[in-house]
Amino acid sequence: MINDYIAVDVETTGLNPAKDKLLEIGAVKVCKGEICETYGTLVDAGIPVPLRIQELTGITDEMRRTGKKAAQAIEEFLTFRGTLPVLGHNVSFDYGFLKQAAVNAGFAFEAEAMDTLKIARRVLPELPSRSLEALCGHYKIDPGHSHRAADDARSAHMLLWKLWEEFKEADPEAFVLRALSYTAKKQSPITNSQKGYLKDLLKYHKIELNIRMEELTKSEASRMIDGIILQYGKIVR
């Protein structure tokens, strides 16, 4: 098994990298099996944090506003990662959001990875749950603040070594690196005409939205405009 890698976790506004946004990136760099460096940042998604996400992660709207822009955060993460392979729990989820942010910012991001969720499903089929929280309980790993990116990344690293210690002889193939795959299309920013029309809609219908329009993509702005028109109607001159 590899001894040098990046364990990573992200928190997001939803489940779809093409529609939802990063809220937090947490990563630990592992050198010869030991954590040697850490990286973590909140990301300002430019839109309110959904209530269900606030309840799950503890990341509030006030906290979100202190975060870095996605382009800066992803550049920092990619520099931190270098060319190391990646580890995560359900790592394809994290990779999808990171890849989308990378493509939007003009960066490439390809990686090989190990996934502690897939490993656990393979070697521990009898467990009722293979969630990170459940597996930390099974192996008596202190999860820190669950559903916060840096702590979950650290938990995935510790979980990997617990799994390796128990199953390295019985199933070494479970710990082989595999290429990650996610197709991301660069998302165009909101157009000036969309900004103008959205501002007019909000003013006309007396709607207050806690958003930064410049952070919206063209497709997000289109969906928002359609939603306002559907709910409140068009502007009548």
Nearest to 135, CA basis, from 109, 158, 106: 158
Q: How far apart are the first and last CA of the chain?
A: 68
**37, pLDDT greater than 80:** yes
pLDDT category at 17 given cuts 50, 70, 90 is very high
pLDDT > 90 in the chain, percent:
89
pTM of the entire predicted model? 0.91
Q: Is 50 exposed, middle or buried (0-12, 13-18, 19+ CB in 10 A)?
A: middle
Note the pLDDT tens digit of each residue in 77-108. 999 999 999 999 999 999 999 999 999 999 99
Q: Identify the sign of the CA torsion 95, 175, 33, 146.
A: positive
CA pair distance 34, 30, nearest whole angstrom: 5
> Residue 9: which of 92, 111, 106, 100 has the closest Cα?
92
Q: Which fold is adopted by the domain 5-179?
A: Nucleotidyltransferase; domain 5 (3.30.420)
- DSSP 3-state of 121: helix
Which DSSP state fits 69?
Answer: P
In the chain, what are the domain boundaries? 5-179, 192-232
- With both helix axes pointing from N to C terminus, report the angle between 91-105 and 70-81 in degrees, rounded to the nearest 10: 120
